[in-house]
Amino acid sequence: MPPLEPSYREIPLTHGQVAIVDTADYEELSKEQWYAKLDKKNNCFYAASRRGKSRVFMHRKILGLANGDPRQGDHRLHNTLDNRRFVNGEVNLRIASRSENLCNRGVQSNNQSGYKNVRWDKRDRKWYVRVYRLGKVYGPYLFKHLPDALQAAVLVRFLVHGEFSYS
- State residue 28's pLDDT score: 96
Domain ranges of the chain: 8-96, 118-164
- State residue 41's pLDDT score: 80
pTM for the whole structure: 0.82
- State residue 110's pLDDT score: 78
Across the range 75-102, mean pLDDT stands at: 95
Residue 3 has pLDDT above 60, yes or no: no
Across the range 136-143, mean pLDDT stands at: 94
Across the range 130-156, mean pLDDT stands at: 94
Residue 118 has pLDDT above 60, yes or no: yes
pLDDT-derived band at 150, boundaries 50, 70, 90: very high
- State residue 6's pLDDT score: 73
pLDDT digits (tens, 9 = 90+) for 34-82: 999 999 888 899 999 998 899 999 999 999 999 899 999 999 999 999 9
Q: Which amino acid is at 18?
A: V
- State residue 4's pLDDT score: 59
Across the range 97-110, mean pLDDT stands at: 88
Residue 92 has pLDDT above 80, yes or no: yes
- State residue 5's pLDDT score: 63
